[in-house]
Structure 1
Amino acid sequence: MLSLPSYIAGKAVTSDSWIEVTNPWNNEKVGRVASINRDALETAIQAHLASATPLTRYERSRILNKTRDLLDARREELAQLITAEAGLCLRETRYEVGRACDVFAFAAMEALHDDGQTFSCDISPTGKARKIFTLREPLSLIAAITPFNHPLNQVAHKLAPAIAAGAPLILKPSEKTPLTAVRLTELLYEAGLPGHMLSCIHGDLDEITRPLIRDERVSLVTFTGSAKVGKEIAHTAGYKKTCLELGGHSPLIVLEDADLDLAAKLACEGSFRNSGQRCTAVRRILVQESVVEEFTRRFHALAKSYVCGDPTDEATMVGTVIDEAAAISLEKAVQDAVNRGASLLLGGKRHGALLEPTILADVSRESTLGTCECFGPIAPIFRVRDLDDAIAYTNATPYGLSSGVVTTNLESAIKAVKGIKAGTVNVNEIPGYRLELSPFGGVKDSGLGIKEGVIEAIKFMTTVKTFSLPW
C-alpha cells in the first residue's frame, strides 16, 4: 500500500493523521496520504508568498515539456494507479494520461507566447506622442481544488497553466483520488519546478480546505466539481477571483435527418465513457419522434458491446463509479424513471460500486434523470417533437455546460448553436468534445462563464498591467 506525503513548497511532510484510499472495485486499500494541520497550511502560504526569482518563459516551457515527457514515459504506471484509486477501466485511464500529456505540451507552447499589446496614443484628436503597452503578471497565489473523476487530467488543467503563467499554486486534490495528484506533483519537482511554485496538501475540510479558500492572501480559487460545492466556495471565497467549472446536464439531440449509426455511437461514447463520470457526459438523449424507434434499436445493439466489470481486465470498457454510495444513488434514479413509466432496455443492475451501462426509453421529463445530474453510465431517452422542443427542453434545466446535436441539415445545426444556452454546442460529436487548448466552461449552474482550457486559464491566472512611454 502506498503511503504518500503532503508536499509543502517542495518538502515532503507526514503526520500521524492519514487519509486512506480504497479501490472501488474490490474495496482493497490501495494507499494513503498524510493529512496536514492549520500550522502546516500557514507554512505553505508563507513559502509561496516569499520573494523568489521568477522563472523565465524558457524555463517554464522547459519544465512543462519535461513533465510531459515524464508522464509519457510512465503512462502505464499512472494508468494503473488511476484505475486502482478511481475504479476506471484501463481503456479510460490510459486515454487520460494521454490527455494530460497534451495539457503540458500545450502549456509549454503558450508559456513562450507573449500576448502583450501596443497602442499608439496619437489616434485621438487629443492624443499625445506616447505609446501604451500591456504585459501580463502572474497572480500571487492560486488555490486549486480538484475532483475525483479525472484524477490526473483535472489536476493537470490547474497546474500546467499556473506554471506557464508563473503563478505559485497550492493544490488540494479530492480525498477520494489523491494518489495520482501526489505522483504528478513529484514529477513536476523532478522536471525542475522549484518548490516555491507548488504545494500539494491533504486534510480536513474545516481545518484545511475552507481556511485556504477564505484566506485573503489567495488571489484565485479554481475549482472543478459539483454546483452545490461550487456555490459554497463562491460564498466562502469572498472578494477574490474564482474559476468554477461545475456540473452539467448535457443533451445529445438526434434529429430525424441524422445519421443514426453515428448518433448511436455518440450516444454510447457520451453516456458510458469514464463510467459516465464526466461533467460533459450525455445525460439526456433527445430524439425526434419520427426516428426514436429506429435510433433506439441501433443504440441498444451497439451498447451491448460495452463490456463492464473488472477495471483491470483489458476487455472492460466500463468500470465502476467512484464508490458504492454513488452507485446506489444512481440505482435509485433508474428506479424512479421506471416508476414514472420508463422502459428499462439494458442494464440497471448494480454490483457494489459497479453499475451496468443502462438504457431507458420513454423517460419522463419530470424524473430525476430528466431534471438532475446523475453522475454515472445511464442513458435516458426522451422523445421530442422537433428541434424547437429539443432546444426548449435543453434549456429547461439549471445547467448550461455542453451539448451535442446530430443532424445533416446545416440550418438546423446553426439554429441549435444559436438557441442552446450552454458553453459548448458540438455538431455531430459528443457534448464533451474539446481540445485541451480550446476554451471550455459553462453558464448558469455550470459555472460563472470563466473558461478553462490552457489559453484561457493562463489569462485568468494573470493580471494585465498597462504602462506608457513617450514616443
Structure 2
Amino acid sequence: MSDVLESPCFREEALRIGGEQVHTGRRFDVLNPYNGERVGSVAMASVEDVRRAMDIAQAYQPRLTRYERSAILNRAAALLRERTEAGSDLITAESGLSKKDSVYEIGRVADVLNFGANEALRDDGQVFSCDLTPHGKRRKVITTREPLLGVITAITPFNHPMNQVAHKVVPSVATNNRMVLKPSEKVPLSAYWFADLLYEAGLPPEMLQVVSGDPREIADELITNPHVDLITFTGGVAIGKYIAAKAGYKRLVLELGGNDPLIVMDDADLDKASDLAVQGSYKNSGQRCTAVKRMLVHQKVLADFTERVVAKTRAWTYGDPMDRRNEMGTVIDEAAAAHFQRVVDDAVVQGARLLVGNRRDGALYSPTVLDRVRPEMTVVREETFGPVSPIIGFKDIDEAIRLSNGTAFGLSSGICTNRFDDAARFARELKVGSVNLWEVPGYRIELTPFGGIKDSGLGYKEGVQEAIKSFTNCKTFSMPW
C-alpha cells in the first residue's frame, strides 16, 4: 500500500463494543472510489468479537424514559445539522457520492432523528371496549408496546452510508431496544461517525454497538446468535434470501432490490416527466433500490419523450464528487462501473440503441440512455444498480401494467398522467409497495411506510413508524370496566 495516497481526512476506526473502542489485530482499508486515496483503516471483528457484543447487549436492560430517548435523538439531530459539512465530506470520501447528494443525505438523517424523537413521545397504545356483542363483557382491553426480549441485528448496504444506518438505529433507540450493527465494509466510516454522535448525545453505548469485517466470517454469527430476536437487513435479493433461510425462528425485516418503472402516459406533460426521469435515474449515482430502472412510455409520445431525456442526460454533470458543480460523482467502485458497461454493451448487441453515455473511467460511469429495449434484456430484467436509463414503449395501459408487473421485483413506481381513472387503475393493479403520481418511484418522507413485495422484500415496512412496530412486541392488558 506504499503507493496509495492517504486522505487528509483519514480516519482510523475501532469496533464499538460495550462503550470501548476495540482495536483488533486485523484491519481493512477504505478507499475513495474517485481518486483511490486511503480514507480510513477499520478494525475487523472476529466471531468472538460479535459474540461479546451480543452478550453485552443481552445483559443490558435499557431504562430510558420516553422523554430521555426523545431528548437524545433531538440532541443528535442538532449536532448533526451543526456538522453537516463534516458528515457529508465523509460520505462523499468513502462512497464517491456527489456533495449535492451527501449534503442531502445528512438532511435526511437529521429528519430520521427528529421523527424518531417525536415517535418516542407518542404512546400508540389502543383501547378496546369488550361489550360490543351479545356475549361480550363489561371490560376494556388496553394495548402497549414493549422492547424486544433479545437483541436486534442490523446489516446495512453501501448506497446510503449514513441514512440506511439511521433508519435502523433510530427506531431501535426510540423503543429502548439494543442493537448490534454491521455496516457495509465498503462504507463503514459514516456508521462509526454516526454512532459516536449518538453517544455524544447521551445514548448508553450498550444500546448500540458497531462491528465491521468480512461478512463471510461474521455474518452467520450475526444471524444465528441465540440472543438475536430480530434481523433487519437492507441489500441484495440473494443475501436476503440467504438470511431468511439461515435465521430460523427469528423476526425478519428484509428490504431488498427493486426494478422500478416510471410510466409515462400519452397525456403527460413531457417536460415534467423527463425531469422526473433523469432525476430518478441519476440521483445518488443511480444506486438506489427505488431509482428509475425502466422508463415505460406510451408509443404516441415515445420519440418526443426520448429526445428530452437524452438532452437532459447530456446536461447532467458528473465527475469529481467533491466539486459542488457536479450533479453526480462515482459509483461505489470500478467493478460496479465495469459491470454497468458490460450490461449496456450486451443490450446493444441484442438490438438496443445506445443514445448517450456508457463511458467509464475507473469508478466514474456516465449517465446512459438506451432505447429499443426489450423486457427480456438483462438491463431491464435484472436490477441495474447504476445510472442507466432503458426506455421501453407500450401501446396502452394494459401493456404498461403488464410490463411493470412482469419482473420478480415489486418495490415502487412513478406514474405520469393527468387522467384520474388511469392513476386509480395503476394504484390498484401495480404489484408494488408504493405508487407515486407525478413523482419519482422513490419519493417518501422518512416517517412514512416504505417497502416492497415479491423479491423486493417480505412486505414488512421500514420508515420510522413502521419500524417501531416491527421492533416492538405488542402486549394486551384487560380489566373490568
TM-score (norm 1): 0.98
Q: Deviations over 1:363-406 (max 9, x none)?
A: 12221112010110000111111111111011010000010110
- Unaligned runs of 5+ residues in structure 2 are 1-9
1:443 aligns with 2:445: no
1:385 aligns with 2:367: no
1:82 aligns with 2:91: yes
| Equivalent residues of 1:48, 1:196 under 8 A apart | yes
Return the alpha-carbon distance in structure 2 between the equivalents of residues 33 and 423 of structure 1: 36
In structure 2, the residue corresponding to 1:181 is in which secondary structure?
helix
One-letter amino acid matched to 1:469? M
Give the structure 2 partner of residue 345 of structure 1.
Answer: 355
1:404 aligns with 2:414: yes
Q: What percent identity do the matched residue pairs reach? A: 52
1:101 aligns with 2:133: no
1:32 aligns with 2:47: no
One-letter amino acid matched to 1:115? D
Q: Deviations over 1:282-336 (max 9, x none)?
A: 0000111111011111111122211111111111111111111111110011101
Give the structure 2 partner of residue 325 of structure 1.
Answer: 335
1:244 aligns with 2:254: yes
Q: How does 1:193-204 map to 2 (within 5 A)?
A: 193-204=203-214
Shift of 1:51: 4.2
Return the alpha-carbon distance in structure 2 between the equivalents of residues 51 and 193 of structure 1: 13
Shift of 1:130: 2.4
TM-score (norm 2): 0.96
Give the structure 2 partner of residue 257 of structure 1.
Answer: 267
Give the structure 2 partner of residue 6 of structure 1.
Answer: 15
Give the structure 1 partner of residue 301 of structure 2.
Answer: 291
Give the structure 1 partner of residue 125 of structure 2.
Answer: 116
One-letter amino acid matched to 1:73? E
Return the alpha-carbon distance in structure 2 between the equivalents of residues 179 and 187 of structure 1: 12
One-letter amino acid matched to 1:381? I
Shift of 1:449: 0.3
| Equivalent residues of 1:10, 1:198 under 8 A apart | no
Q: How does 1:357-436 map to 2 (within 5 A)?
A: 357-436=367-446
Give the structure 1 partner of residue 27 of structure 2.
Answer: 18
Give the structure 1 partner of residue 6 of structure 2.
Answer: none
Q: Deviations over 1:420-469 (max 9, x none)?
A: 10000111110000010000000000000000000000010001001112
Aligned length: 471
Shift of 1:9: 2.5
In structure 1, the residue corresponding to 2:40 is in which secondary structure?
strand
| Equivalent residues of 1:403, 1:431 under 8 A apart | yes
1:300 aligns with 2:331: no
Return the alpha-carbon distance in structure 2 between the equivalents of residues 51 and 252 of structure 1: 47
Return the alpha-carbon distance in structure 2 between the equivalents of residues 38 and 337 of structure 1: 43
| Greater mean alpha carbon deviation, residues 140-149 or residues 198-207 | 198-207
One-letter amino acid matched to 1:17? R
Shift of 1:40: 2.0
| Greater mean alpha carbon deviation, residues 302-311 or residues 51-60 | 51-60
Return the alpha-carbon distance in structure 1 between the equivalents of residues 412 and 36 of structure 2: 33
Change (3 A) 1:53 1:414: closer
One-letter amino acid matched to 2:196? E
Q: How does 1:53-72 map to 2 (within 5 A)?
A: 53-72=62-81
Return the alpha-carbon distance in structure 1 between the equivalents of residues 450 and 216 of structure 2: 30
In structure 1, the residue corresponding to 2:292 is in which secondary structure?
coil
Return the alpha-carbon distance in structure 2 between the equivalents of residues 419 and 339 of structure 1: 34
| Greater mean alpha carbon deviation, residues 46-55 or residues 72-81 | 46-55
| Greater mean alpha carbon deviation, residues 296-305 or residues 92-101 | 296-305
In structure 2, the residue corresponding to 1:216 is in which secondary structure?
coil
Shift of 1:19: 1.8
Shift of 1:92: 0.3
Return the alpha-carbon distance in structure 2 between the equivalents of residues 141 and 104 of structure 1: 21
Return the alpha-carbon distance in structure 2 between the equivalents of residues 117 and 314 of structure 1: 49
Give the structure 2 partner of residue 336 of structure 1.
Answer: 346
Change (3 A) 1:118 1:346: same
Return the alpha-carbon distance in structure 2 between the equivalents of residues 365 and 133 of structure 1: 51
Return the alpha-carbon distance in structure 2 between the equivalents of residues 276 and 380 of structure 1: 13
Shift of 1:53: 4.5
Return the alpha-carbon distance in structure 2 between the equivalents of residues 446 and 203 of structure 1: 26
Return the alpha-carbon distance in structure 2 between the equivalents of residues 51 and 144 of structure 1: 18
| Equivalent residues of 1:340, 1:364 under 8 A apart | no
- Unaligned runs of 5+ residues in structure 1 are none
CA RMSD in angstroms comes to 1.0
In structure 1, the residue corresponding to 2:354 is in which secondary structure?
strand
Shift of 1:272: 0.5
Give the structure 1 partner of residue 191 of structure 2.
Answer: 181
Return the alpha-carbon distance in structure 1 between the equivalents of residues 436 and 197 of structure 2: 35
